[in-house]
Structure 1
Amino acid sequence: MPLWSDFHFWSPPEDPERPPLPYASVFTVTITEHVPPRPFGLPSVYPFIEPPYDTSDEHLKTLTQTELIVSCPPLEADDDTDSAVPEKPAEATLKVERPIAVEDGRGPQLVACTVTPQNGQGKPFQAVAKIFDPLYYSFENENAPHRPVATTLAADSDYSIEAATYAHLQKTGHAGGFAPEYYGSWTFTLPIRHRGIQHERHVRLLLIEYIDGVCMRDLCYRESAALGFTEEHRLDVLARILDGDVRLEHSGINQRDLLPRNIMLKLEPEAEDPLGKGRPQVVQRAVLIDYNISVVYHLAPEAWKYRKSTELPLNPIDLFWSTSLDDFGYWIPQSWQGNRRAQQEWLIERFGGQNALAYAPVLTELELDDA
């Protein structure tokens, strides 16, 4: 029987073959149009799939992350996928202009880039690349320390879920409004050396619209920043966000994470600095940017199709009557904090009366909370 003193927790082994994270500096690569797998791996929503390689803890603990990447390539789409594989996939040159969120171990990497279509298929354009590179996902499980993660499978799952969501947004005409424009799913190859042999590994990415704006989170949690906007305008922007959310829901998507950290605000040109002094700031457009735990209803189990479809979107009163908006911090009136009644009165004022005609009839029994 082994002694307790012989026991030790697993941690990722030394991996001298693992190359440095390439996306934080000058990086140019040829990307090729790619069809992702159907969405999978989101607990209680999309099923887990059995990959063609061993993902048991016991096996993963015998590998370095480089060995995992070389031996477990990313998954391809099944024959029954909604998208057909193009006979001649488009190609483009991607040049990273600057990192947005790039860090070893963070999961998907976000970079601002210039994309130049090849073979005269279009003009160069600016975009955000969301890169699902399993070599730079955390090999150690962040929620269960000392357990390994099959990072190739995790990256494939993230890629499949967001690709399905953006494709649906584009198909239903919501990309380019409350959601970013979507420029498709792509793949590229990078060299990697293992045990003296040169290999090629495949990396997936999505291209989405670059929003030249400010993250709403940076304005919600500092009173001085929020006060750069009038209260009337802040509430108008909040109403636009709630309206955008119910319209996405009506289109068949539940984003499931409507928080300031996932909202970009594009300011009017003369008001680009939200901390600047002078006339009040004005938000031109609010954009919901993160769909990593989103549900596309027609691809999800029946349990998620819990609302009958209606001709018009649900009224925000229905979705937000009992949902606290306190996470919006200083963006909302401070009288709302811990006071659901004040929020409910605003919902009625904003989305009731004649404004209610833009939505399906309210189903919620409108009983105000105690002040």
Structure 2
Amino acid sequence: MDLDDDNLERLLRVLDPNRPPKAPPYFWSPPADPDRPSLPYMPGFKTQIQSHMAPSPFGDGALYGPWPRKQLSNAELETVTQSALVMSHPPLEATTALSDTEILPETAQFTITSHISVGCEAGAQVVVCTVVKDGKPPFEAVAKIFDALYYRFSHSIASRPRDVTAEADTDYAAEAAAYKLITSDGRASKITPAYYGSWTFNLPILSRGVQQIRPVRLVLVEHLQGSNLRGLRMQNSAQIHDGLDSFHLPENYRLEVLAHAMDAYMRVLHCGVEQNDFASRNIMISSKDTSTNTDITGTSIPRVTLIDYNTAIGYSRTFYGSSMEEKMALPVNPMQWFWKHAVGGDFPGWVPREWEGSRKPMQEWLVQRFGSKEQRALYESVAKELKFDEW
């Protein structure tokens, strides 16, 4: 017998007359915010940016210790507009000890030329831009702009507000720290975008009738000429319910790109950075440097790059000081690291369909791709016996 919520509640109350009353449904939406300007990050947007020392990463107390800023309750967030929240909680600054280690600030002219991912439905704004430093030729870059005023104010699942100022701060701190660590290590330079530093700029805002200035943080990285794996999907099947996929590309090509992505993840981890979001949207294949040939299949593939580090862990910035993986002589074998991962769910339409409901086919491929004597020599020895799943 199927019961709707109301009938089920009545039945439960008959069975238990002392049952407490059902809580009323909770609906919250952001209040009207006339002070919040329209998204400014359109092609043609220009400003002067200044180099900036990002604060240390924070968020997980077990990794980083106490928060460097107040954690706001739902009650505090529910009664404030997004613009008022942003103005009352400006972006964090680095500690004096960190700032003292930096070189003198530099400035540059910043112009947005096109979009990659913009809008108020998620988090950081990602744009293509040109950057001109004094006395130097312009160069093209990708800017990731951590502007809390244009983060989504409500959670996508529950009707609850998000502390967008804290999220923008944690995203910026984690991304800048990860890129700095990867750049200083140097061993992952070809499998991550080149890093052009962390920056800040000011924007005007009319807040409660008073003209004010608010700071905005960003990082600049290499503009990769290509697409992420998710962007290569299309409707190949006549059955609409099959969804989008990349099956117009040969399977050996798709799996070799995946192998390079797994290798990139492990080499970044060997630098002391755990990227923490291995998914098709964060793997770029570039149209440049297409001469790479694999030793396994002979398939020619483009440059494969691991992007997006706003949830990354840079272990030298944590209580641990370093990770076990970065102390090893060689990177961890991807076969061991990904053995129990649900890669099929993270790469839908890129991996074979049977991977999406089963780990065993993926495990068989991992052994084939990374289990040979020649491949094992590129990585640390597999630490334990790997047992195949039954499905």
TM-score in same-fold range (> 0.5): yes
In 2, Cα distance between equivalents of 1:7 and 1:320: 41
Q: Residues 21 and 175 from structure 1, CA distance in 2 versus in 1: closer, same or farther, beyond 3 angstroms?
A: farther
Q: Secondary structure at the match of 1:226?
A: coil
In 1, Cα distance between equivalents of 2:308 and 2:338: 20
Corresponding residue number in structure 2 for 1:153: 166
Post-superposition CA distance 1:343-367 (Å, at most 9, x none) = 3333223222122111111113033
TM-score by length of 2: 0.81
The residue type equivalent to 1:216 in the other structure is L
The alpha-carbon deviation at position 161 of structure 1 amounts to 0.9
Q: Secondary structure at the match of 1:203?
A: strand
The alpha-carbon deviation at position 261 of structure 1 amounts to 1.2
The alpha-carbon deviation at position 10 of structure 1 amounts to 4.5
Corresponding residue number in structure 2 for 1:197: 210
Q: Residues 95 and 325 from structure 1, CA distance in 2 versus in 1: closer, same or farther, beyond 3 angstroms?
A: same
Corresponding residue number in structure 2 for 1:273: none
Q: Quick check: 2:61–2:67 contact (8 Å CA) kept in 1?
A: no
Corresponding residue number in structure 1 for 2:179: 166
Alignment of 1:174-323 (within 5 A): 174=187, 176-219=189-232, 222-223=235-236, 226-267=246-287, 283-302=301-320, 305=323, 309-323=327-341
Q: Quick check: 2:188–2:268 contact (8 Å CA) kept in 1?
A: no
Moved over 6 A (4+): 4-8
In 1, Cα distance between equivalents of 2:354 and 2:100: 49
Percentage of pairs with the same residue: 39
Q: Residues 322 and 303 from structure 1, CA distance in 2 versus in 1: closer, same or farther, beyond 3 angstroms?
A: farther
The alpha-carbon deviation at position 11 of structure 1 amounts to 3.2
Q: Quick check: 1:229–1:282 contact (8 Å CA) kept in 2?
A: no
Corresponding residue number in structure 2 for 1:278: none
Q: Quick check: 1:42–1:293 contact (8 Å CA) kept in 2?
A: no
Corresponding residue number in structure 1 for 2:137: 123
Corresponding residue number in structure 1 for 2:18: none
The alpha-carbon deviation at position 219 of structure 1 amounts to 3.2
Q: Which moved more, 1:66-75 or 1:94-103?
A: 66-75
Q: Residues 342 and 76 from structure 1, CA distance in 2 versus in 1: closer, same or farther, beyond 3 angstroms?
A: same
In 1, Cα distance between equivalents of 2:23 and 2:236: 53
Gaps of 5+ in 1: 271-280
* Root mean square deviation, CA, Å: 3.1
Alignment of 1:63-78 (within 5 A): 63-78=80-95
The alpha-carbon deviation at position 291 of structure 1 amounts to 1.2
Q: Quick check: 1:268–1:282 contact (8 Å CA) kept in 2?
A: no
Q: Residues 174 and 190 from structure 1, CA distance in 2 versus in 1: closer, same or farther, beyond 3 angstroms?
A: farther
The alpha-carbon deviation at position 163 of structure 1 amounts to 0.8
The alpha-carbon deviation at position 222 of structure 1 amounts to 4.9
In 1, Cα distance between equivalents of 2:101 and 2:152: 32
In 1, Cα distance between equivalents of 2:116 and 2:181: 25
Query: How many corresponding residue pairs?
Result: 354
The residue type equivalent to 2:251 in the other structure is E
Q: Secondary structure at the match of 1:331?
A: coil
The alpha-carbon deviation at position 12 of structure 1 amounts to 2.3
Q: Quick check: 1:35–1:84 contact (8 Å CA) kept in 2?
A: no
Q: Residues 263 and 57 from structure 1, CA distance in 2 versus in 1: closer, same or farther, beyond 3 angstroms?
A: same
